[in-house]
Structure 1
């Protein structure tokens, strides 16, 4: 998947656990794990906003695009 999720990086920078982040954002640790491991198919803007608020960051600090094999521009 060419979208890379860097929640782990921000958690380390903020010295915060996954459980604490999930609690403060209002989602389950399991749902946060799905997102941070890149297995989510979508993310709600309200969830992204809450993540940014709690982690004091921008959306681009959490999500980035990297071209992968077969990802040629049309």
Structure 2
């Protein structure tokens, strides 16, 4: 599973949701969905804008975690 560590990078950059949403050009609701790992997908255009705003690489935000670590009982 892919985990979005947006909250970690935002904390490192001392940037809040409202400021980042303004810089990226997406709604607070959509940014919150990303931040809380509720997103099913993210557009590359959005990822590009987030990386530009935070001065980071996609790998600083996205992380692969083996699905077995989710506690699915297997």
Please classify the TM superposition score into its range, dividing by the shorter chain length.
0.7 to 0.9
Structure 2 counterpart of 1:64: 63
- How many residues in Structure 1 have an aligned counterpart in Structure 2? 70
Q: Post-superposition shift, 1:48?
A: 0.3
The gaps in structure 1 that reach 5 residues or longer are none
Unaligned runs of 5+ in 2: none
1:15-67 deviation line (CA, Å, top 9, x unaligned): 11011001110000100011111111111110000000000000000000010
Structure with the larger helix share: 2
TM-score (norm 2): 0.88
Hey, what's the Cα distance between the residues in 2 that align with 1:6 and 1:61? Answer: 7
Runs of 4 or more, structure 1, over 3 Å off, are none
User: What's the TM-score once normalised by structure 1's chain length?
Assistant: 0.88
Question: Aligned-residue CA RMSD in angstroms?
Answer: 1.4
